[in-house]
Amino acid sequence: MNMSLFEGEDILADQIIESAQAVPFMNDKRLIIVKNSGFFTAKRKKDAELIYSFLDDIPAFTCLIFVEDNIDKKNKLYKKFDKMKFAVEFELPKEQELLVWIGRKFKKNNKDIDQRTSLYLVRTVGRSMVDLENEINKLISYKEDNNIITIEDIDKVCIKSLESHIFDLLKAMGYKKTDEALKIYSNLINNKEHPIKILSMITRQIRLILQVKYLSEQGFNAKKISESIKEPFFVVNDCLKQAQLFTLDKLKEGINDCLETDIASKTGKMDPNLAVEIFLVEFSK
């Protein structure tokens, strides 16, 4: 009763202020959570100014929390939060930190996993610690009578992330295995993934491979590429392997084709499912 949640860039500062000024009902505090408002970027300057001024008069009973994926640290409102010591940055753990955390989770339950297998687990499940913990618990239950976790165990028990399926999809297209690529895509559709979301992930992966291939040909090693594009080392290594399957021109063509497919899908020129299927067939040639 004393919590309000606002989300999206259509939020108005006046709405937040009005809610924050409402006296809590049968409690001492009122909680306002605002997600991805855009107030901490240049495009919402007017609303950001209203919030900036309101912070000086915010009621003592109100707890106001902003959760933002994108911020500009030069933004006036962000600087105010930072100066008040109320700005906290939550970063994804670095690759090595994640592997240590995985090892610790298994060790706590008397299970052993080597670094190569831990990397494979991350590659399969993704970097979400929530998803990883769920799959770790499944592996621990599965290996009740054995303390060694293997790659085969991960393949048998764990649910692959969308990113992992997209990696396999691009690999199939790189080897010109059209039937395999279409089978992976069909399974994703059957699992209720939207064609536009799949296309978006394919586009991102092709762009990553293009960046990695270009930098590699400029003489950058995997470590330098990882630092340059701010992607984990294991992601760069995966992209380096896939980069061998495509030329730079083919990757550039792929990104353009993704854009055209996206436009055709969103403007109603083609059914999204069919449009993505055609793209997969063409890109696999």
Q: What is the tens place of the pLDDT at every residue in 166-175?
A: 999 999 999 9
| pLDDT mean across residues, the chain | 93
Average pLDDT over residues 81-94: 89
pLDDT (tens digit, 9 = 90+) per residue, 205-259?
999 999 999 999 999 999 999 999 988 888 899 999 999 999 999 999 999 999 9
**CATH numeric code, 3-83:** 3.40.50.300
Domain(s) labelled CATH 1.20.272.10 in the chain stretch across: 162-283
Predicted pLDDT of residue 95:
84
User: Whole-structure pTM over 0.75, yes or no?
Assistant: no
Report helix angle 272-283 to 178-190, nearest 10. 160
Report residue 145's pLDDT band, with 50, 70 and 90 as the boundaries.
Answer: confident
Predicted pLDDT of residue 205:
94
Predicted pLDDT of residue 234:
86
φ, ψ dihedrals at 40, nearest 5°: -100, 20
Predicted pLDDT of residue 258:
96
Residue 282 has pLDDT above 90, yes or no: yes
Sign (positive or negative) of CA dihedral 233, 196, 161, 171 = negative
Fold assignment, 95-157? Helicase, Ruva Protein; domain 3 (1.10.8)
Residue 136 has pLDDT above 90, yes or no: yes
What DSSP character marks residue 28? S
Residue identified by tokens 């995997």 is: 222
Take residue 29 and report the two structure tokens written for it.
Answer: 């505090």
pLDDT (tens digit, 9 = 90+) per residue, 37-73?
999 998 899 999 999 999 999 999 999 999 999 899 9
Domain(s) labelled CATH 3.40.50.300 in the chain stretch across: 3-83
Report residue 181's pLDDT band, with 50, 70 and 90 as the boundaries.
Answer: very high
Report residue 152's pLDDT band, with 50, 70 and 90 as the boundaries.
Answer: very high
Predicted pLDDT of residue 127:
87
d(CA 154, CA 152) in angstroms, rounded, equals: 5
Residue 279 has pLDDT above 90, yes or no: yes
Report residue 93's pLDDT band, with 50, 70 and 90 as the boundaries.
Answer: confident
Report residue 92's pLDDT band, with 50, 70 and 90 as the boundaries.
Answer: confident
Report residue 201's pLDDT band, with 50, 70 and 90 as the boundaries.
Answer: very high
Predicted pLDDT of residue 230:
86
User: Lowest mean pLDDT: which of 67-71, 92-96, 265-269?
Assistant: 92-96
d(CA 115, CA 117) in angstroms, rounded, equals: 5
Take residue 79 and report the two structure tokens written for it.
Answer: 């600087």
Fold assignment, 162-283? Zinc Finger, Delta Prime; domain 3 (1.20.272)
Domain(s) labelled CATH 1.10.8.60 in the chain stretch across: 95-157
d(CA 219, CA 213) in angstroms, rounded, equals: 10
d(CA 215, CA 229) in angstroms, rounded, equals: 10
Predicted pLDDT of residue 58:
93
